Amino acid sequence: MNDKSITSYRDLKDILSVRQAEVLQVIQHLGPSTNRMIARYVDWDINRVTGRVKELREKGLVVYAGDYFDKETARTVNLWKTV
């Protein structure tokens, strides 16, 4: 991690809750992800993830990244990516 990354992380830490920061880090790690993908990665109930993604979207840190067909639910869902 470089100095710029450390400074950026400290700045985000001041505006994000712990769970928001976890979700943001997972999306950064996985790349474009669905709520279900994020939930599985952190081993949370999907309802915990959807709220955090919404909050991150409202803060302008996460945006829509396209559609994804979820074979498990047989539905098209949103992909999210970091800005």
pLDDT for the residue numbered 3: 56
The β-bridge partners of 62 are: 82
**Domains of the chain from N-terminus onward:** 3-82 (1.10.10.10)
Q: Which uninterrupted H or E stretch holds 1?
A: none
Tens digits of per-residue pLDDT, 15-34? 899 999 999 999 999 999 99
Task: For tokens 């409202």, name the residue.
Answer: 58
As given in the structure block, the two tokens for residue 61 are 């840190």
Question: HEC states along 21-32?
Answer: HHHHHHHHHHCC
Q: How far apart are CA 1 and CA 59, in angstroms?
A: 24
Average pLDDT over residues 21-50: 97
Q: How far apart are CA 62 and CA 14, in angstroms?
A: 17
pLDDT for the residue numbered 15: 82
Share of residues in the chain with pLDDT > 90 (%): 82
